[in-house]
Every structure is written in C-alpha cells, then in structure tokens.
Structure 1
Amino acid sequence: MTLGSHSSSNMLPHRVVLNARQMPGYAYGPRSPIWWGTVGFAAAEGMGFALAVGMYFYLVFINGNWPLSAPPPDLLWSSIFTTLLLISIWPNQRAKRDGEREGLARTRRNLVLMSLIGVALLGIRVFEFGTLHVRWDQNAYGSVVWLLLGLHTLHLLTDLGDTIVLTVLMFTRHGHGKRFSDVGDNAFYWYFVVASWLPIYVVIYWFPRWW
C-alpha cells in the first residue's frame, strides 16, 4: 500500500503536444526511405555500367584495330532511340510533379504516356540489335557491345514493367496515398535510365568512328 502510494505520487500528468494520427505515412524525394533505396540501387547499377565500359576500353587498348572484323554499328535506330529517350524527360518530369501534387487524373495520363514511350523504346531497341553488324559470340568486340546494349535493355525493361504496374494501380482503388510517392521514385529511376544511356551511346556508336 505504501509502495503504491509512493508510485502514484511520482507520476506526472501527460499533455498531448501533437496528434500525429492524421499525418501521412509517406513522403516525397529525399524524405522518403524508398528514394534513398533507389539512389543506392542506381549507384550499384551505375558501377556495373562503368565496369562494362572499362572492359570495352581495355579491349580497345589491347587491340590496335577497332572494331574487330566488323564495321561500326548503324546510327539510324540508335539515334531515334536516343532522341525519343531525351523527349521522354518532359512527360517523366510532369508525372513526378503531378504525383507530388497528388493530381490523380494528370498522373494517370502521364503514366499512360510514359508506358507507351517505354513500349516504343523497347521496340526500337529490337531493331537496334539488328544493326550492330556483329554477333555476340563472334569475337570480344561483339561480346562487349552486346553486353552494354543488353545491360541497358534490362534496365529499360525493368523500369517499363514498374511503370505499367504503377499505371494499372493508379486506375484502381489503390490509386492514392503512397502510390503518388511511388510515381516520384519511378520517375527518379527513369532519369537514371536516360543518363546511363548517353555515355553508352557514345561508346558503342561514335567511338568506333572516331577511332
């Protein structure tokens, strides 16, 4: 009894300072843990691209004649691909902006447009593989060119799949809240897909012409 009374006398009254019940469970940009995960993912994959490019130039260094037993790849489809990829920055930025504003109708429109652009890019990439003038197993040059193009195609396919799934979700009852934050993360990764392609495009298509 004495112990209970002593404990009660030491208890302080509680005062509610802030009710966090109505605060959202998601955030945008660097305030989101998923955003930092995407940054780490892009950094790791960027290192993979850097290693593949390093492999390419190592082969250039040990072989005086480059490219090996093949003319440089054609520029038509790769240039169309690069142009469309750069154009996609605009609707991608609009998707990010409208997602942060949580405008459902505009976000849906932008995601549909990005999905269509992704499908078009993937189709162009198929034609692009046919203009390399070298098989993947023909020699070291063919292997490293197909590796570089294949790595970027894998990233393009990954982001396209994520965009299509996110687009479908935005047309269901799940199209609210955290899904808008996912739109921003998806847009951020697309910037990585664009930025990683530009040096690869120069290495594969223009360096052999300069060399």
Structure 2
Amino acid sequence: MSEVHHGSYYVPHSSVWPIVGSVGLFTTMLGGANWLNGHSNTLFIIGLSIMIVMLFGWFGTVIRESEGGFYNAQMDRSFRWGMSWFIFSEVMFFAAFFGALFYAREFALPWLGGSAESKFGTHEFLWPNFETHWPTNGPGFVGGSFEVMGAWGLPAINTLILLSSGVTVTWAHWGLLKNNRRQLIIGLAATVALGFLFVTLQAIEYSHAYQHMNLKLSTGIYGSTFFMLTGFHGLHVTMGAIILSVVLFRSIAGHFTAEKHFAFEAAAWYWHFVDVVWLGLFVFVYWL
C-alpha cells in the first residue's frame, strides 16, 4: 500500500479492502435473503467468506500501520471520533427495536383491545374479540400458544456473565495502564471466555424456546420482538468477543503500551455498550 503524509497526517492510498468489503456485504445480505426464502445457502457462505478475508486483510493492514509508527495524536483523535460515531449509530439501531417494542405494548395493544384510552374503536372493525395483555402473539394467535421466556433462568445467569465481563475488561485496562502485561492478558482472556459463554448459553436458550416453548420468531409480535432484540444483541456480543480475541492475541504478541492503546480502548468501549444494551433487554424484554 502506498501512502502520503500531508503535514503530520497520514493518508493511506490504493486500498482494495473497502470495495472488497462492499462486495462481501452485498453478497452476504443477498445470499442470506435467498436462504431465508428457501433457496441454497451457497451465496451466503461465499459472501461470508469474502467478509472474513476482508476483515483479516484490512485489520492486518491497520495493525501493521499502527505498529509501524504511522499514526500520531491527530490520527488517534480521528479514530476516537470514528468509534464514537459508530457506537452512536449502534445506539440508534437498538433504539429502533426498543421503540418498536414500546409502540406494540403501549399503543398497538390498547387500540386493538379497545381499552379506555383508545378513542378510535379500532377493535370493532378489525378484531372485536382481541384481548389486551402482554406478552401476546397478536390477533388470531399467530403461531399458536406459547410459553413466555422467564427472566430468572438463563437470562439472569447471562446478565451476571456480562456484568462480570465488564469488570474483567476494566481490570485488564488497569493492568495495561500499569504496564502489567500479565494482568492485561488474564483480564482479556477472562472477558473473551465470558463473552463466548454468554453466546453459548443464549444458543441453549433459543433451542429450548423453539423445541419446548413454541416461542419462535414467527410467534406474533412477542416472538418477533424477542428474537430481533436478543438475536441482534447476541450477534453484537459475538462480534465483540471476536474483536477482544484479536486484542488478546495482539497483547500476547507484545502490542500496546500504557500511552498508546486505542485499539484496546475501542474494543472496551464497544463491550461496555453491549453490556448496557443487555441490561435494557433484561428489564424490558425478560422482566417487565
């Protein structure tokens, strides 16, 4: 890769990874849509493979540039702003799903059920016998009867796991600031292990929901909001655990110093964001 230094600012050139990532993402989404509609998953696998190659290549380039001393304080500020806006976009992403859940529970249900707050008589024209209660699988009992996922089984255990992982990643950060490489590596390893344990327990929870509770993505509004919120969060936990794994391997290789370690901080910011989102999920999806 060629590069240009404008004053004190490093500008990379001739990178193929943005276009490779665009092709991979498009192929993945198109293949995933086809797969969900009963077609072969081959295109999805191809797109996912392209994305993996892109991530290895692009991240490797950035790591080599960082370790090569190309990045200065101005670049560090750019990275921090970029990560901040990325996390903000993720906040808005989950806000949309929480908003859908709030709308369904606080507005759509009263309208359909003809509660005292509803002034439009919607239920008289659409579903006169619809009863207002949450959780619901919607008018007509879409998907049949189901059981509600309780808050005090695996969800409570997963809450403890994620909160513990927030502690371990903070402990690892303290170790880095003290130039204690052993504490850094142990803290990161514990965080990664807890993250993948969370995903494993969530997979067990999903299996139980589908096989024994008849709770599925197709089970009305409760099922769709439950799996959309918890599923996307699980995807973010998986991505965060992978990112932290890369940071762990880099730490073992001797990367990062007490003064220069934005990659670690970015991963930690993302992980704390994932923790906060889960607390909202636990309260509003599982508990209330």
Common fold, TM-score beyond 0.5? yes
* Aligned amino acid, residue 97 of structure 1: W
Please tell me whether the aligned partners of residues 84 and 121 of structure 1 are also in contact (alpha carbons under 8 angstroms). Answer: yes
Q: Pick the aligned partner of 1:66 from 119, 134, 156.
A: 134
Q: Which residue of 1 aligns with 2:202?
A: 125
Q: Percent identity?
A: 23
Q: Which residue of 2 aligns with 1:57?
A: 102
* Residue 46 of structure 1 pairs with residue 119 of structure 2: no
Per-residue deviation, 1:26: 5.5
Please tell me whether the aligned partners of residues 233 and 278 of structure 2 are also in contact (alpha carbons under 8 angstroms). Answer: yes
* Residue 189 of structure 1 pairs with residue 270 of structure 2: yes
Higher relative contact order (CA 8 A, sep 6+): 1
Identify the range of structure 1 (35-44 vs 125-134) with the bigger mean alpha-carbon deviation.
125-134
2: CA distance, partners of 1:130 / 1:110 = 31
Identify the range of structure 1 (75-84 vs 36-45) with the bigger mean alpha-carbon deviation.
36-45
Please tell me whether the aligned partners of residues 195 and 237 of structure 2 are also in contact (alpha carbons under 8 angstroms). Answer: yes
The structure that has the greater radius of gyration is 1
SS of alignment partner, residue 136 of structure 2: coil
Please tell me whether the aligned partners of residues 26 and 181 of structure 1 are also in contact (alpha carbons under 8 angstroms). Answer: no
Per-residue deviation, 1:36: 2.5
Give deviations 1:66-97, integer Å, cap 9, x for gaps: 21243321220000000111122221111222
Tell me: CA distance 1:164–1:176, structure 2 relative to 1, closer, same or farther (3 Å): same
Per-residue deviation, 1:142: 0.9
* Aligned amino acid, residue 71 of structure 1: E
Aligned residues: 181
TM-score (norm 2): 0.57
TM-score (norm 1): 0.76
Q: Which residue of 2 aligns with 1:144?
A: 225
Please tell me whether the aligned partners of residues 165 and 190 of structure 2 are also in contact (alpha carbons under 8 angstroms). Answer: no
* Residue 81 of structure 1 pairs with residue 161 of structure 2: no
2: CA distance, partners of 1:126 / 1:34 = 34
* Aligned amino acid, residue 96 of structure 2: L
Give the unaligned 5+ runs of structure 1: 1-22
Please tell me whether the aligned partners of residues 73 and 204 of structure 1 are also in contact (alpha carbons under 8 angstroms). Answer: no
Per-residue deviation, 1:24: 9.6
* Structure 1 vs Structure 2 CA RMSD: 2.3
Q: Which residue of 2 aligns with 1:18?
A: none
Tell me: CA distance 1:191–1:176, structure 2 relative to 1, closer, same or farther (3 Å): closer
Please tell me whether the aligned partners of residues 170 and 179 of structure 1 are also in contact (alpha carbons under 8 angstroms). Answer: no
Give the unaligned 5+ runs of structure 2: 1-68, 110-131, 138-145
Tell me: CA distance 1:136–1:179, structure 2 relative to 1, closer, same or farther (3 Å): farther
Please tell me whether the aligned partners of residues 99 and 183 of structure 1 are also in contact (alpha carbons under 8 angstroms). Answer: no
